[in-house]
A and B are shown apart, each in its own frame.
Chain A
Amino acid sequence: MRIFSLLLIAVFFLFAGFSCSKDNGESDKLTISVIPKGTTQEFWKSIHAGAVKASQELDVNILWVGPEKEDDRQQQITLINNQIIGQVDGIVLAPLDDMAIRRPVKSAVDKNIPVVIVDSGLKDSEDVYTSFIATDNFEGGKIAGRQLGEMLEGNGKVILLRYNEGSASTDKREAGFMEAIAEFSGIEVVSDEQYAGVTKATAQQASENLILRFRDEQGTLGFDGIFCPNESSTYGMLQALQRNRLEGQVKFVGFDASPALIEGLEKGEIHGLVVQNPFNMGYLGVKTMVAHLNGQPVEKRIDTGVHFITQENMTQPDMQELIKPDLDKWLKEN
C-alpha cells in the first residue's frame, strides 16, 4: 500500500509540475479549464474543438481535463477541486450529475473562480453559475418523439432504451420523448424501463435482450419504433439490430452523431438523429467565460439548438457542418 501511495504522490507532483510550467510560461494570458463528462466520445471532441477555436480567437489558454468514465462523479469532483487549487481564471464545466457536482461548483465560485455550465444542468444553482449553455434537452427529446410519431403515422408500439441512471441531460431527453409520444393516442410505449449503461457493449446487450423479449416465435417484432437518447445507446441498438438482421425494419431515432451513426443514417438503418451543436457549446462556453471575466454582461441561459437529421436533409451544407465538423483542424494544432 505504501508503494501505491508513493506512486500517487509522484503522479500528483508530475501533474503539478506540468501545470506550473504552463502557468509560468504564459502567465499573462487568461487560463480557462474546460471539464467535459468524458473524453473519448465524438461529442466531447466537438466541444473541445469549439473551445479551442474560441481560445485561439480570444488568445486565452484552455486546459482540457475530463474524467475517464461518464459516470465517475467522484473523479469529476476531484478535477474541479484541482482546478481550484491550480487557480485557473474560470471553469467551463459539463456536470456529470445535477446534484453531486453542486458543492464543488459552489466552492469554486466562492474562491472567485466563475463557472460556466455547458451541456447538462445543475439543479437550483442559477445564482451560483455564470451562464448555462446547452441544448434544450427536453425539447430535443420532444422533437425525437414527435418525429418518430409522425414516421409511424400515429400508430404502433415503441421502445425507449434509456441511457444511464442519474444522467440529467438524457433524463430530460427521455422525459421530452415520453411527453411528445403521449400525444399520439395510437402509440403505445411497450418498454421504457431498460437502461443501456455506460459502455457500448452493455448497450448492445440490453438491446439484444429487448429484441429477444419482443420477438415472437414467428420472428415478428412486437414493436415498430425505437428511441435511444445518446450516442452510445444508439450505437449499441444499431449493432444489435444489424446482428439480428433487423436493420431498417423498425423506425429508429437516435440522438447525437458519430461516423458510425451517420453511416447508419445513409444506409437507412437509422431514420433520424437528433443532433446538438457541441462545437458551438464549447465555442460559446469559452467565449461567454472570457466575456464575463472581462466584465461584460452575459446571458444566463443560452440555447445552442437541436436539429433533426434524416436521410433526406443530411446532405445539406449546414447539416454536414453539424454532423461532420472538421475537428482535426482545431485539435491537431493543439
Chain B
Amino acid sequence: MNWKILNKFGPFLALLFVYVFFALLDAKITTFTALETMLLQTVIVGISAIGMTLVIIAGGIDLAAGSIIALGSVVVALLLESFQFSPLVAALGGIGAGALCGIFNGLLITRLRLVPFIVTLGSLLIVRGVAKGLSGSIPINVGHTPLSNLLAALPADQKWQLLPSGAWLMIILAALIAGMLRYTKLGRHIFAVGSNEQTARLCGVAVERVKLFVYTAAGAFSGISGLMLMSYQEQGDPTGAIGLELDVIAAVVIGGGSLNGGEGSILGSIIGAVIMTVIRTGCQLNGWPPWVTQIVTGLVIVLAVLVDQLRHRQTA
C-alpha cells in the first residue's frame, strides 16, 4: 500500500524534498518572484514533456524534440519578421511546423516500421539542419512583440492574472492531455499500445493511428515549446535548445514514465521538469557552480529510476 502512495506521489514528494532543502539554505527561493521565475524557466521543457510523455507511454521515444523546439522558434520568428504575419498566425505556423516534423517521424515509424530511436535520431539532425537552413544559420532577432509576453514576468498592473500566459498555457495543456489520457478511448489506447502492442492489436486498437497521433502531438507540443523559446529569447534561434530533448526525457522519467512503455503521467512529467528547474535555480542562488547542478540532477534521475524499479520488484 505504501508503494502505491509512493507511486502516485513519488515525484511530488521528491519535489517537496528538493524545494524544502533549498528553502532551508536560502529563503529567497520562497518569494513570489522566485516561484514565478522558476515556473517560467520550466515552461519550455514542460510543454515539450507533455508530448514526450505521450510518446513514452506509447512505448516510443522522440529524440528530435530539441531540434523541433529550435525549428519552431525559427519559424515563428521568420513569419513575424520576414513575412510580417500577425503574432497569432506566426505562433500557429511554428506549432504547425512542429506537428509536421512529428507526422514525418510518425509516418516513418508506422509505415516503414522503423525503430523510433533511430528515426528520431535521424530527424534530430534533419530538423536541426532545416532550422539552420531556414534562418541562414543566424539568430533571427524579433524584438519586443506581443508574443514576448508569453514568458515574461507580469507587470504590476496585470498581477490579477496570477501567472504569465505561457505558464497558464502549460498548465491548461497539461490538464487537457492528462484528462485525455484518463478519460478518453484514445488515452486508454495509448497506454495499451505502450503496454503491449500485440494485445492492443488483438483488441482492435488501430495501433498505427495511435502511434502517428502521439508523434504528431509530440511534434506539435515541441512546436509550442519553440514558440516559448522565441518568446523567451525574443529571437528565433537555430542553435537553441541543443540537447534539450535529454532534459525533456529526464523530466518524463523523473515523473514516473517508463521507457518500456505503458507507464507515465503528465502531472509527473511536469513535476519532473519543475524539479530540474528547482535544482538549477537553487544551486545558482547559493552560488554553486554548474557541476554541482549537474551532479544533483543526475542523482535525482537515477534515484527516480531506482524507486521505480523497487516498486516494480515489490509488485511483481
Q: Do chains A and B directly touch (beta carbons under 8 Å) in the complex?
A: yes
Query: Nearest chain-B residue to A69 (Cβ)?
Result: B242
Q: How far is the CA of A197 from the CA of B128 in the complex (A)?
A: 19
Contact A212 B235 (CB under 8 A): no
Interface code A258-273, partner B: CB below 8 Å = 1, 0 otherwise? 1110010000000000
- The residue from A198, A204, A210, A259 contacting B141, defined by CB atoms under 8 A apart: A259
B152→A200 contact, CB < 8 A? no
Segment 116-147 of B: residues with Cβ below 8 Å from A: 118, 121-122, 128, 132, 137-139, 141, 143
Contacts of B229 in A (CB 8 A): 201
**A109 CB to closest chain B CB, in angstroms?**
30
Residues of A200-233 at the interface with B, using a CB-CB cut-off of 8 Å, are 200-201, 204-206, 208-210, 212-213, 215, 217
- Residues of B within 8 Å of A68, CB to CB, are 128, 239, 242
Using known A-B contacts A208-B41, A243-B153, determine if residue A40 contacts B238 with beta carbons closer than 8 Å. yes
Shortest CB distance A168–B (Å): 18
Distance between B218 CB and nearest chain A CB, rounded to angstroms: 20
Interface size grouping (class) on chain A: 35 or more
Per the bound structure, the CA–CA distance linking A41 and B237 in Å amounts to 10
In the assembled complex, which residues on chain A have CB atoms less than 8 Å from the CB atom of B31?
212, 217
Closest A residue, CB atoms, query B119? A3
Nearest CB of chain A from residue B4's CB, rounded to whole Å: 36
Q: Are B232 and A201 in contact (CB under 8 A)?
A: yes
Option from A1, A210, A217, A260 in Cβ contact (under 8 Å) with B235: A260
Q: Are B28 and A244 closer than 8 Å at their CB atoms?
A: no
B189 within 8 A of A: no
Which of B44, B121, B122, B137 is A201 in contact with, Cβ under 8 Å? B44
Cβ of A285 within 8 Å of any chain B Cβ, yes or no, is no
Stretch of A80-88, A90-98, A188-196 lying at the B interface = A188-196
Q: Could you mark each residue 238-266 of chain A with 1 if its beta carbon is under 8 Å from any beta carbon of chain B, else 0? A: 01000111000000000000111001000
Whether the Cβ atoms of B235 and A200 lie closer than 8 Å is yes
Most B-side CB within 10 Å, residue of A40, A215, A239, A263: A40
Query: How far is A7 from B243 in the complex, measured between Cα atoms in Å?
Result: 22
Closest B residue to A213 using CB positions? B285
Q: Mark A38-56, 1 if CB is under 8 A from B, else 0.
A: 1111100100000000000
Q: Are B37 and A38 in contact (CB under 8 A)?
A: no
- Distance of A69 Cα from B239 Cα, bound (Å): 8
Complex contacts, A198 vs chain B, CB 8 Å: 242
Bound-complex Cα distance A263 to B142 (A): 12
| Tally of B interface residues using CB under 8 Å | 43
Using an 8 Å CB-CB cutoff, how does the interface string of B227-246 with A read, 1 for contact, 0 for none? Answer: 00100111101111111000
B287 and A205 within 8 A (CB): no
With a CB–CB cut-off of 8 A, which chain B residues contact A193? 287-289
> Do residues B37 and A201 form an inter-chain contact, with CB atoms below 8 A?
no
User: In this complex, what residue of B is CB-closest to A4?
Assistant: B118
Question: What residue in chain B is nearest A259 (Cβ atoms)?
Answer: B141
Evaluate contact between B122 and A209: CB separation under 8 angstroms.
no
Docked CA distance A201–B224 (Å): 16
A205 & B128 in contact (Cβ 8 Å cutoff) = no
- Residue B280 at the A interface, CB < 8 A? yes
Interface contact B289-A4, CB-CB below 8 Å:
no
Q: How far is the CB of A71 from chain B (nearest CB, A)?
A: 9
B57 CB to closest chain A CB (Å) equals 25
Taking a contact as CB atoms under 8 Å apart, the answer to whether A209 and B281 are in contact is yes
CB of B33 within 8 Å of the partner chain: yes
Chain A residue contacts of B179, Cβ below 8 A = none
Cβ-closest chain B residue relative to A191? B287
Most buried by A among B33, B155, B291: B33
Q: Which of A205, A206, A239 contacts B234 (CB 8 A)?
A: A239
Does residue B298 face the partner (Cβ distance < 8 Å to A)?
Answer: no
Provide the bound-state CA to CA distance between A148 and B237, in Å: 30
**Does B196 have its Cβ within 8 Å of any Cβ on chain A?**
no
**Contact call B235/A209, Cβ cutoff below 8 A:** no
* Most A C-beta atoms less than 10 A away, residue of B114, B229, B239: B239
Q: Write out the residue numbers on chain A whose beta carbons fall within 8 Å of the beta carbon of B141.
A: 259-260, 263
A42 vs B33: C-alpha distance when bound (angstroms): 33
CB pair B37 A208 closer than 8 Å: yes
Chain B residue with the shortest CB-CB distance to A203: B233
Q: What chain B residues lie within 8 Å of A258 (beta carbons)? A: 139
Q: Is the CB of A201 within 8 A of B233?
A: yes
Q: Is B100 an interface residue (CB 8 A)?
A: no
- CB distance B281 to A212 under 8 Å? yes
Residues 30-48 of B, flagged 1 when their CB comes within 8 A of A and 0 if not, give 0101100100010010000
| B interface list, Cβ under 8 A from A | 26, 28, 31, 33-34, 37, 41, 44, 114, 118, 121-122, 128, 132, 137-139, 141, 143, 152-153, 155, 229, 232-235, 237-243, 280-281, 284-285, 287-291
14 contacts between A and B (CB under 8 A): A1-B118, A3-B118, A40-B139, A165-B290, A194-B289, A199-B237, A200-B139, A201-B237, A204-B233, A205-B280, A209-B281, A239-B233, A260-B234, A260-B235
Q: A interface vs B, CB < 8 Å?
A: 1, 3-4, 7, 38-42, 45, 68-69, 165, 191, 193-195, 197-201, 204-206, 208-210, 212-213, 215, 217, 235, 239, 243-245, 258-260, 263
Q: A165-B291, A199-B237, A200-B139 are in contact. List 7 more A-B contacts (CB 8 A).
A: A4-B118, A68-B239, A193-B287, A193-B289, A205-B280, A205-B281, A209-B284
